[in-house]
């Protein structure tokens, strides 16, 4: 019997850039997420949960400046993935 010891990690981040999560920031999030093929990620806003590896799904959250978004990642590299995404949010998606 194999026991899956995959990590499940979550964090809540605030959108700080002026334009919110539009196509470019969504693509940046997806690019980071896809670097971790063995890790899944879901994004929640106002009770709606979407796949964090889908640009269209992220854009449909309509997350404007000030929105709080919860990321839930599961897999061996969940912590590293969320660390990179957190750094991206802190840099305001390199837009400002």
Question: Side by side, which strands form the sheet with 7-14?
Answer: 7-14, 68-75, 40-45, 48-51
DSSP code for 46: T
Cα torsion at 19, 54, 29, 94 (round to 10°)?
-30
Q: Please tell me which residue in 11, 22, 27, 57 is annotated as part of the active site.
A: 22
Identify the residue whose tokens are 């969940």: 78
Tell me whether residue 72 is one of the annotated catalytic residues: no
Catalytic residues: 22
């Amino acid at each position: 019997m194999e026991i899956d010891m995959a990590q499940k990690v979550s964090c809540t981040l605030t959108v700080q850039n002026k334009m919110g999560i539009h196509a470019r920031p969504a693509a940046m999030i997806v690019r980071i997420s896809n670097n971790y093929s063995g890790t899944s990620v879901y994004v929640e806003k106002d009770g709606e949960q979407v796949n964090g590896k889908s640009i269209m799904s992220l854009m449909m959250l309509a997350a404007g400046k000030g929105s709080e978004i919860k990321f839930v990642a599961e897999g061996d590299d969940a912590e590293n993935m969320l660390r990179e995404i957190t750094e991206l949010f802190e840099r305001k998606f390199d837009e400002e």
